[in-house]
Amino acid sequence: MIAGIGTAFPAAVAQDVLWEGFFRDHFGGARVAERIFRAPFLRRRHAAVNPVLEDVSGWSTGRRMRRYAEEAPPLGHRAITAALAESGLDAADIGLLAVVSCTGYSTPGLDVRLAESLALPDRVQRLCIGHMGCYAAVPGLGAVGDFTAARDRPAVLLCEELTSLHLQPPTSDPEQIVPHALFGDAAVALVVRPGGRGLELLDVDARTDTSASAYMTWDITDLGFRMGLSPKVPDVLADHVAEVTADLLGRNGYGPDDVRAWAVHPGGPRILDTVREALGLAPEALDASWSVLAEHGNCSSATLPLVVDELRRGGALDGGGPVVAMAFGPGLTLYAALLRAG
Architecture per CATH, domain 199-341, reads as 3-Layer(aba) Sandwich (3.40)
Determine the pLDDT at residue 342.
81
Architecture per CATH, domain 2-192, reads as 3-Layer(aba) Sandwich (3.40)
Q: Per-residue pLDDT averaged across 290-313, rounded? A: 98
Residues 178 and 174: their CA atoms lie apart, in Å, by 6
Determine the pLDDT at residue 10.
98
Residues 9 and 23: their CA atoms lie apart, in Å, by 22
Residues 341 and 333: their CA atoms lie apart, in Å, by 26
Q: Per-residue pLDDT averaged across 193-220, rounded? A: 95
- pLDDT, tens digit (0-9, with 9 covering 90-100), for 94-118: 999 999 999 999 999 999 999 999 9
- pLDDT, tens digit (0-9, with 9 covering 90-100), for 262-286: 999 999 999 999 999 999 999 899 9
Determine the pLDDT at residue 237.
92
Determine the pLDDT at residue 172.
85
- pLDDT, tens digit (0-9, with 9 covering 90-100), for 143-188: 999 999 999 999 999 999 999 999 999 988 888 899 999 999 999 9
Judge whether 2-192 and 199-341 match in fold.
yes
Determine the pLDDT at residue 196.
87
The domain locations on the chain are 2-192, 199-341
As annotated, the active-site residues are 134
On the CB side of 33, CA atoms within 13 Å amount to 19
Q: Is the pLDDT of residue 246 over 90?
A: yes
| CA 299-74-76 angle, 5° bins | 45
Q: For 242, phi and psi rounded to 5 degrees?
A: -70, -40
* Secondary structure letter of residue 108 according to DSSP: S
pLDDT > 70: percent of the chain: 100
How far the first Cα of the chain sits from its last, in Å, is 10
Element (H, E) at 247: helix 233-250
Residues 35 and 128: their CA atoms lie apart, in Å, by 38
Contact call for residues 172 and 28 (beta carbons, < 8 A):
yes
Contact call for residues 331 and 218 (beta carbons, < 8 A):
no
Give the pLDDT band (50/70/90) at residue 20: very high
Determine the pLDDT at residue 255.
95
Residues 120 and 112: their CA atoms lie apart, in Å, by 10
Determine the pLDDT at residue 250.
97
Residues 72 and 157: their CA atoms lie apart, in Å, by 15
Residues 136 and 48: their CA atoms lie apart, in Å, by 21
Determine the pLDDT at residue 173.
84
- pLDDT, tens digit (0-9, with 9 covering 90-100), for 290-300: 999 999 999 99
**How deeply is 339 buried, as exposed, middle or buried, from its count of CB atoms within 10 A (0-12, 13-18, 19+)?**
buried
Query: How many CB atoms neighbour CB 114 within 10 A?
Result: 25
Contact call for residues 37 and 181 (beta carbons, < 8 A):
yes
Determine the pLDDT at residue 78.
98
Give the pLDDT band (50/70/90) at residue 319: confident
**Mean pLDDT (the chain, rounded):** 96
